[in-house]
Structure 1
């Protein structure tokens, strides 16, 4: 019996589009988490807090360049008329299958869905195969969660975003790190005229 070694292409990057909360907002989320939840799950690093818009998976360097070029062209052509986004994290959720504990948004602004759809379309235009799961805006707090822990205090964490990002997910000995590779502004409609 012979075994074939699988070649790993070091030029492949694990990418996703997302919204990056400001540092003070990340700290507020972390403070609420530490003060209100008691569990022994694997916490997501505060620096990694984000709201995913579209997960792309493994992408080669050429496709990465094309993704950036596609969005740059749209931005220059002012076709992306999505204003800065404000939303409120106001509920705690648990997904049993991926074992994720997350903060969710009950009343999510349409701009977030529009931006997620835009990112999805850009990925498809660049021949990236995506899953067709329904988009659920959320911020992951913990991985390897086993249950929804009890909590007493209400959740009301306002976030605002004036840009969206293309992230790279990098595995390190200390765990996964999310690095912002590119960032594009969300412009008020009046600035596009």
Structure 2
């Protein structure tokens, strides 16, 4: 089966990308990662990962379900940096606390995919934007100058594994629209990053 790696994501505009890139460079100056900084063109926050070999019927079902999602726009304030302790030691920036709007939107998107019987992988949601990969050192929880991101849309991305370097291709884009009768009702937040 041909590779067809798909994931839903929040896709920042140019101003947010520039601010994230500046934060990444400042962090790397203060504490050189020993790895490599991510390209700003690849910055995103993964929402749901559909898999590496998504059949066309599943891709089509995901697009139809995405068009039905209703959630209000929200602001995501990226104000902390850190790293995961896995093999590649990625550095990231994220919000210290997830806004209720993101929690409600994620739940609406996940539920829409499950109702449409779209197969999902990696259901654990840890919202972050990767700024460096293959670091040689762990980045401890570090405050950064807050970056306010007005989130008003989401996208479906195809990771082009056939290209070198791998590129992301936006294959679907949907606006965030509040449900009729007001904003989405926030639900309890999923597990958060341990930033302390």
Scaled by the length of structure 2, the TM-score of the pair is 0.79
> 5+ unaligned residues in a row in structure 2: which ranges?
184-196
- State the aligned residue count: 177
Distance 1:61 1:90, change over 3 A: same
Question: Match for residue 44 of structure 1?
Answer: 38
Separation in structure 2 between the aligned mates of residue 178 and residue 169 of structure 1, nearest angstrom: 5
Separation in structure 1 between the aligned mates of residue 42 and residue 144 of structure 2, nearest angstrom: 23
Tell me if 1:61 matches 2:56: yes
Question: Match for residue 128 of structure 1?
Answer: 119
Question: Match for residue 171 of structure 2?
Answer: 181
Q: Output the aligned Cα RMSD.
A: 2.5
- Of 2, 8, 13, 1:17 maps to 8
Tell me if 1:116 matches 2:111: no
Question: Match for residue 86 of structure 1?
Answer: 75
Distance 1:14 1:158, change over 3 A: same
Question: Match for residue 6 of structure 1?
Answer: none
CA contact (8 A) 2:82 2:140 kept: no
> 5+ unaligned residues in a row in structure 1: which ranges?
1-8
Deviation at 1:87, TM superposition (A): 1.1
Distance 1:126 1:69, change over 3 A: same
* SS at structure 1 position matched to 2:166: strand
- Relative to structure 2, which stretch is displaced further, 23-32 or 167-176? 167-176
Higher radius of gyration, 1 or 2: 1
Separation in structure 1 between the aligned mates of residue 142 and residue 82 of structure 2, nearest angstrom: 14
What do residues 131-162 of structure 1 show as CA deviations (whole Å, max 9, x unaligned)?
343x1110011121232347987331111111
Scaled by the length of structure 1, the TM-score of the pair is 0.80
Separation in structure 2 between the aligned mates of residue 113 and residue 153 of structure 1, nearest angstrom: 22
Question: Match for residue 4 of structure 1?
Answer: none
Distance 1:36 1:94, change over 3 A: closer
Tell me if 1:139 matches 2:133: no
Separation in structure 2 between the aligned mates of residue 45 and residue 117 of structure 1, nearest angstrom: 29
- Of 70, 78, 100, 2:90 maps to 100
Deviation at 1:27, TM superposition (A): 0.9
